[in-house]
Structure 1
Amino acid sequence: MRTTYQYRLRPTAPQQAVMDQWLEKLRHQYNWLLSERFQWWEEHRCPVNACPLVCHLPQLKNQPDCYSQQRSLVPMKQARPWYKEVYAQVLQDMVKRVKLAFDRYLKGDSNGTRSGRPRFKGKGRYRSFTYPQASLKWVNGKAVNLPKIGKVKLILHRPLPDGFKLKTATIIYKAGAWYVSLSLEDKLVPSLMFDSPTPENTVGIDVGLKSFLVTSDGEEVIIPQFYRKAEKRLKRLQRQLSKKKKASNRCKKAVKRVAKVHRKITNQRKDFHYKTAKKLLSQGKSIGHESLNIKGLTKTRMAKSINDAGWGQFLQILSIKAERAGLLTIAVNPNGTSQDCSSCGVKVLKTLQDRWHNCSECGCSLDRDHNAAINVQKRAVGHPVQAL
């Protein structure tokens, strides 16, 4: 079993300066190694016997790979001695990031999905570095001992689980704050067995914008709208930012103020999602939900409200937490869940403004979202209501 715990760091000013310097040095070397791969690809992308007449035949070179680029770090440190200040394994992990980014561009991920062309990192765009061989000995209750940086104050808001081995430690800089993500592994944790979904051990949920979600039991979770509530303050701060001279010190400070508001909104939303997922899973039931095309929905007029609700993040958190609790999350076809009657299966046409379901065939009358949640539950267990 693999899990990650993230904690807030409180580094001193000298420690922040060191970590900032590391990020900048890693950014430069990342761009250099990525350009080396691009150059080889442009020169060797087709066989010599199939090369078009408009190109020149370069001197053939070996393809840069992870190992050759890691070996190149040794002469690079001799030519640029200031790179010796960066922990060696952190530099080696940066080379792996270049490899992963370039391989996803050429070959695709495990599902065969290819990414776009990797971008060169601009100033401030390289925000994390990883210790690939971390140890639990580095962590105590008040600090984490990072090689070549020292003991950095740590806010251990929850204890580390027993029996797990620390694999990697990643230092992340986000909107003026430093965090450490500890990747933990325990190979002795057995694989969980999941019960088959039944009407008794499964609950359906319908996510929306009027309410964040409604369950098939009729429970409603109010939508918090964190971004909408902070929109007025963001508008004021962004107006102040627009009046600053670009790249000036005042501009940088204004950017940080805007980033802090966005960071707070993100943290509030994630905290709400975790608490909502925990409340749902505390019933000990599997969860059925609609398989929504969220990316497509964010291109509609309701994009701001959908992004504010964060359905995608919530469903991802729900899936992870359910798996660890030995429960299932079942995605069902969303077509007709709001239109079909949950009692008799007859299609009752409604517009988006119609918030109540009234069936003329069986007399079923209940909230539109509650009706959809019941339909989701029945589809999740494999027993949808069919119209007679």
Structure 2
Amino acid sequence: MQLRYTYRVYPTAPQRSALARTFGCVRTVFNDAVAARRRAYAEGLPFPSTAQLDKLLITAAKRTPERAWLAEVSTVPLQQALRDCHAAYRNFFDSLKGKRVGAKAGPPKFKLRSNRQAARFTRNGFSLRANGRLYLAKIGDLRVAWSRGLAAEPTSVTIIKTSTGKYFASFVIALEDDAQRLEPIAGPEAETGIDLGLKDFAVVRGGKVIENPRFFKRMERQLQKAQRQLSRKRKGSANRAKARVKVAKIHERTRNMREDWLHKQVMTLVGENQALFVEDLCVKGLLRGRAAKSVHDAAWSSFLSKLESKAARAGRNFVRVDRFFPSTQMCSACGALTGPAGLSDLGIRAWACECGATHDRDANAEINIRREGQRLAAATLP
């Protein structure tokens, strides 16, 4: 099992210049690799291997006047750029053949100079000093804000510069599969369904409601004001650059608040429940409707992926219920499909069944999701 640990780093002015050169060289090598493979395809030749591109685009290129500046940075992140290009093409071909699960992957594109940049160093290009500094080849010792300790020796580190000008070091560590396993929780009360929504973020066992924080909506007025100021600045001016950073900081703050809140909710749910049952929502389809902004703000996909990952690491059971299961429409008392259904009934928050039972819309859906998840989990047992 591989995990990422990310920390803020504070490079000096000379180190920031060296990192800028490294980011530019990484982007150039990646684009040269994409161009070489496109050229080979156009000429009907086999794709050059990563080793061939390493000799051609790094070793030999350093001896040419056009690419002599590649020698100013470490070779390690340049080699990782070639491996990233190779992995991107492999994902593209696996997607064409149906071997890759998930959305279709397109062919690699040329990288543009953007406001977010990154470079990856393997063990040959970095080391951790005894004084807590992070050494990077041809860059020097970076000061790191160690918010927590590393659980194991890192195998690689990615240096990231965000659109707001902040620098982060993202370490990859390898742990045993059961290293983060929690003590099992016995009893039927330790199982919950999770019904996601927009009015309330989620409803769990017992009708407990997790309120929707709506982080983007809270920051939207500040963002609109900052974007208006940005639109009035002359392109290429220093004031426009400052206004762009101001907009980026609002986006960054919104994202950080949302990520922190999601992690805390996931930790609470995984810590209190042995089994978690959720509805397999088609979030991409919901993003085409009128509530697209609210769906984006709720970040259901991010929440479910975090919950599934953390549940697997903690030894919890995680089951997705089919999205076409009528959890809202079904009466949890008698099983009749008499509840609200379709877009026209979204405003119905409570309803009465023909059997006489009265239901809260979301609490009833949580019960049905939990029961269906328990049935699916029992069906998979040997």
In the superposition, the TM-score normalised over structure 2's length comes to 0.88
The whole-number CA distance in structure 1 between the counterparts of 2:92 and 2:42 is: 14
Deviation at 1:141, TM superposition (A): 6.7
Q: CA deviation at 1:239?
A: 0.6
Quick one: structure 1 residues 43 and 137, their matched pair in 2 at CA, closer, same or farther if it must change by over 3 Å?
closer
| 2:88 is the alignment partner of 1:95 | no
**CA contact under 8 A between 2:4 and 2:170: conserved in structure 1?**
yes
Q: Residue 29 in 1 paired to residue 18 in 2?
A: no
Match of residue 358 from structure 1: 352
Aligned partner of 2:53: which letter?
Q
Q: 1:74 aligns with which of 31, 41, 59?
A: 59
Change (3 A) 1:287 1:188: closer
Given that 1:169 and 1:182 are in contact with CA atoms closer than 8 Å, whether structure 2 keeps it comes out as yes
Distance 2:237 2:179 in 1: 55
Alpha-carbon distance in structure 2 between the residues aligned to 1:324 and 1:181: 20
Which residue in the other structure is 1:119 paired with? 109
Deviation sequence 1:127-159 (CA, Å, 0-9, x none): 111112269951557432222211111111122
Partner residue of 2:275 out of 277, 286, 294:
286
Q: Distance in 2 between matches of 1:2 and 1:135?
A: 20
Structure 2 CA distance for partners of 1:256 and 1:165, relative to 1, 3 Å: same
Pair 1:325-2:309 in alignment? no
Over 3 Å counting, the alpha-carbon distance change for 1:316 and 1:383 in structure 2 is closer
More off after superposition, 217-226 vs 304-313:
217-226
CA contact (8 A) 2:7 2:146 kept: yes
Give 1:348 shift: 2.0
Relative to structure 1, is the Cα distance of residues 374 and 31 closer, same or farther in structure 2, using a 3 angstrom cutoff?
same
Corresponding position of 1:242: 231
**Residues 1:12 and 2:12 are matched in the alignment:** yes
Matched residues in 1 for 2:333 and 2:183: separation? 28
Greater shift, 332-341 or 267-276, is seen at: 332-341
In the TM superposition, residue 201 of structure 1 has moved relative to its aligned partner by 3.9
Name the SS of the counterpart of 2:172 in structure 1. strand
The answer on whether the counterparts of 2:200 and 2:210 sit within 8 Å (CA) in structure 1 is yes
Separation (CA, whole Å) in 1 of partners of 2:9 and 2:326: 48
The answer to whether structure 1 residue 211 and structure 2 residue 195 are counterparts is no
Q: 1-side partners of 2:348 and 2:138: how far apart?
A: 62
Q: Contact 2:276–2:317 (CA<8 Å) still a contact in 1?
A: yes
Residue aligned with 2:60, SS: helix
Deviation at 1:248, TM superposition (A): 2.6
- Tell me the alpha carbon deviations over residues 288-346 of structure 1, each in whole angstroms, 9 at most, x when there is no partner: 00000000111110000000000000111111111111102110023311111111111
2 CA distance for matches of 1:77 and 1:373? Answer: 62
- Mapped to 2, the partners of 1:123 and 1:38 lie a distance apart of 20
Secondary structure at the counterpart of residue 329 of structure 1: strand
Residue by residue over 1:265-305, the C-alpha shift from the partner in whole angstroms, topping out at 9 and shown as x without a partner, is 11111111000011111214211000000001111100000
Q: How far apart are 1:35 and its partner, in Å?
A: 0.8
1:146 is aligned to 2:131: no
| Distance in 1 (alpha carbons) for counterparts of 2:125 and 2:22 | 21
8 Å CA contact retained: 2:76, 2:124: no
Match for 1:170 among 148, 158, 172? 158
Separation (CA, whole Å) in 1 of partners of 2:193 and 2:178: 29
Paired with 1:139 and 1:293, the residues of 2 have a C-alpha distance of: 47
Q: Which residue of 1 aligns with 2:297?
A: 308
Per the normalisation by structure 1, the TM-score is 0.87
Q: Hey, what does 1:252 align to over in structure 2?
A: 241
SS of residue paired to 1:282:
helix
Worse overlay, 89-98 or 250-259:
250-259
Deviations 1:107-133 (CA, angstroms, capped at 9, x unpaired): 438526641232211122661111122
Identical aligned residues as a percent: 30
1: CA distance, partners of 2:178 / 2:122: 22
Q: Name the SS for the 2:29 alignment partner.
A: helix
RMSD: 2.6
In the alignment, what sits opposite 2:173? 184
Higher helix share: 2
Q: What stretches of structure 2 of length at least 5 have no aligned partner?
A: 378-382
Between 99-108 and 11-20, the greater mean CA deviation after superposition: 99-108
Alpha-carbon spacing, 1:110–1:151, altered in 2? closer, same or farther (3 Å): farther
Return the offset for 1:64.
Answer: 1.3
Paired AA for residue 356 in structure 1 = A
| Cα distance in structure 2, aligned partners of 1:369 and 1:152 | 50
- DSSP 3-state at the match of 1:337: coil
* Distance in 1 separating the partners of 2:4 and 2:85: 23
Give the number of equivalent residue pairs: 365
1:10: how far off? 1.6
Cα contact 1:15–1:149 (8 A) shared by 2: yes
Q: Which amino acid aligns with 2:141?
A: K
Change (3 A) 1:204 1:198: farther
126-135 or 67-76, which deviates more: 126-135
Unaligned runs of 5+ in 1: 45-60
Q: How far, CA to CA, are the matches of 1:134 and 1:210 in structure 2?
A: 51
Q: CA deviation at 1:99?
A: 1.1
Contact conserved, 1:216 with 1:371, CA < 8 A, in 2?
A: no
Matched residues in 2 for 1:259 and 1:83: separation?
A: 31
Indicate conservation of the 8 Å contact 1:134/1:168, yes or no: no
1:48 corresponds to which residue? none
5 Å-filtered alignment, 1:32-43, equals 32-43=32-43
User: CA separation of 1:145/1:383 partners in 2, compared to 1, >3 Å: closer, same or farther?
Assistant: closer
Please state whether the residue corresponding to 1:5 is helix, strand or coil. strand
